[in-house]
Amino acid sequence: MLIEEIVPSVFRVKVPLPNNPLRYTNSYIVKAEDECLIIDTGFNVDECYNTLALALDELRVEKPLFLSTHLHADHMGLAGRFSDSILMSSIEIECIEEMRRSSHDYWKKLVDFYVMNGFPKEEAGLLLRLHPGIKYTYWRDFKFKKLSDGDVITLGDVSLRCILTPGHTPGHICLYDEERKVLFSGDHVLFDITPNISWMPMLEDPLNEYLKSLEKLLSFNVKLVLPGHRGFGINLRERIEELKVHHEKRLKEALSALDHPKTAWEVAPSISWDIEEKNLSKLPVIQKWFIVGETIAHLEHLVRKGEVSKVEVRGRILYYC
């Protein structure tokens, strides 16, 4: 089934993500009278484009608005092939503009930082052509329409409130339909898998931001959660508690691994990852990248809590108790 109507006027399209463990992005099409909003798109590859284009054609959508919950390529990568304008949080837009200004330097500095955290240099260099943010985003001079926390997007009789939920990215937003008690959660809350919370230059303590953002959602009356990947959820409060427990477990595993000073790369194998392959050295480079990024995020959170210290020794960042 290409198009699935979830609630009246809200449709889901499973946009395939070729050769990616996420499998697909949930792209939501919100139709109201003569207006239409597309929430998230998928990668800038032909398979994604053809799927979404066919869905828009079937629904007879013309000149829709495009909104990305966050800057990752599986959510905004394709928007540029459909439109020259996009709605995003102002914080996310600032991040994109900073990345554009520094261009190659941004990614090179990020790769160098991961190498300092123990990532093998010869593999890290591959990220300059393998990272989805480089490989699968259609970059163009967007006419950004900035969104802030609490802003309301109105489409006919549908109103969607923007909720700033940093953590997965610096300016991630969720959208809340108060009348129908529906939350479009992007990658902030997923049900079948857990969101990746990785270190980013724009977020000193992404895990802390993420946990605070989870708490923020508890004040909303939500009966249906429509996430950016996999299945829907009906019990937001229960899932939030599960996610908090999940990260608490990883923090304990990271802390227990520090029997002597280690890089994030050395700590990563001691954490329970939701993957079948337990030998991290056998994983694809991009999966190693996300795993090490999440390890750094947890270690940095422990540093800011005062439970762990760190030091740079001969170009390596070591964490220790």
In a domain, 265, yes or no: no
Q: Is residue 112 part of a domain?
A: yes
Does residue 108 form part of some domain?
A: yes
DSSP structure string for 270-314: GS--SSS---GGGS-HHHHHHHHHHHHHHHHHHHHTTS-EEEEET
Tokens representing 78? 């394709």
CATH of the domain at 147: 3.60.15.10
Average pLDDT over residues 52-78: 95
The pLDDT of residue 166 is: 98
| 148 in any annotated domain | yes
Say if residues 195 and 230 touch (Cβ distance below 8 Å): no
Residue 294 inside a domain? The answer is no
Taking only the tens place, the pLDDT of each residue in 117-152 is 999 998 988 887 888 888 888 777 789 999 999 999
Q: What is the pLDDT of residue 226?
A: 98
**pLDDT tens digits along 270-282:** 999 988 776 778 8
Strand partners, 67: 39, 87
Counting the structural domains of the chain, the total is 1
Residue 295, in any domain of the structure: no
Domain range holding 33?
3-248
